[in-house]
Structure 1
């Protein structure tokens, strides 16, 4: 299994939740070698008002996380696949070859953290439903992950994300009629059409490149791109992302 981790926020049962997951295994699931899902649930000592990890507790949770992974490797039972923080607890999630030693793994790890209580359990999950339906993001959530990565890169380069500038977008459609209808719709919302992208062998779709003056600040760009996803899909298309220029303070 490859290691490539992502993290994002999502609501779960009406509560804010921070999800971290190994995206590197997405193309290989379900993996028949790991047919069980195991969890260890650890209540936080001093969660934030939203039920998430407070800065002063991050180190302790990191130590627990590392110890669990160390013990799972020692017992050779499974693979750490994700973590959900919600409603004042951290849920560490593993996929297991066999689950009869999972309780021993959890106990061996948590004996080093007397200040924390915990619960552990496991069940059969041959289709990897916990990974695919709970940990893995939807198309909209993936877009937010990509948005925030780009925003972080701009910010690290000295960009003032609150300054308006041209933000370019692309969407692709199955036929030119849908592309034209989409273009007419977004023009009513202040977007300018830059060019039409004709089908190629590697991309047999009808593309549209367009832009508008907006701010790429995290929540602003999230709202904008989610709207573009919805509108592209309404016209039978697919949104393909955005780019912008660096605007320093």
Structure 2
């Protein structure tokens, strides 16, 4: 199997731990994921890139705008027929608020029939006037808004930003999307490889004992002296399906086991299989 026949969802271990250079402006990195929000299904669309510069000291206030959807789906998310107008409202609010208040738009939540937009401001003088003036153009939509002090950007980090497990699921989706872009229908089971890095050889053996009845085979066990914190490498594989639900089940399982042992689950790789 050639190099270009494979797709990876793993990082370069030898580059991990590098500290990015200080940036005056962050590079936007928008992504989405699903979560349970107050016992309702929620879809979150978040600028992950803000993490590199947050909290921004001169923007200590969070402002939210809540738009009540007129035709939500039964699960409370936005319907296809309403998605266009909701996007127009969002674009109009974001453009006006950023322009007039030098705010940072960090994300949105769609859940329980509402679409909530979140911004970080310096001062909040007349923010309500700006929102109301935008919404005049959309008289069929009810809306609400509010603000509070959030110097440490806790609402961004603790609510909008994905948990480590959710972030792993996002990474899984990225690899699956690349498979589909390359013509993979995801219908075929195939070998899926995984890499885990451990602090000690004992931890690696404990991990192998825990998965001994799960059908994984060992491809390689190695020691990499260049990796000071986790030099004990483990490469395993198993025949599996690669749709989102299947991948999340076995990858999150391995990821959790690795975390229990203070190890680093470094991702998965598989081949492109076309019908």
For normalisation by structure 2, the TM-score amounts to 0.87
Q: Deviations over 1:171-201 (max 9, x none)?
A: 1111111011112322321100111231332
1:78 aligned partner: 103
1:230 aligned partner: 256
The answer on 1:209 being equivalent to 2:219 is: no
Unmatched 5+ stretches in structure 2: 1-25
CA drift at 1:77: 3.6
Residue aligned with 2:138, SS? coil
- Work out the number of aligned pairs and report it: 249
Residue aligned with 2:175, SS? helix
Unmatched 5+ stretches in structure 1: none
Residue aligned with 1:187, SS? coil
The answer on 1:13 being equivalent to 2:38 is: yes
Q: Deviations over 1:9-67 (max 9, x none)?
A: 00011110000111111121111021000000001111001100001111101001110
The 5-angstrom pairing of residues 186-205 of structure 1 reads: 186-202=211-227, 204-205=229-230
The answer on 1:59 being equivalent to 2:67 is: no
The answer on 1:152 being equivalent to 2:180 is: no
Deviates most, 179-188 or 49-58? 179-188
For normalisation by structure 1, the TM-score amounts to 0.96
The 5-angstrom pairing of residues 1-249 of structure 1 reads: 1-202=26-227, 204-205=229-230, 206-249=232-275
Distance in 1, Cα, partners of 2:222 & 2:120: 43
Deviates most, 123-132 or 199-208? 199-208
Distance in 2, Cα, partners of 1:8 & 1:195: 33
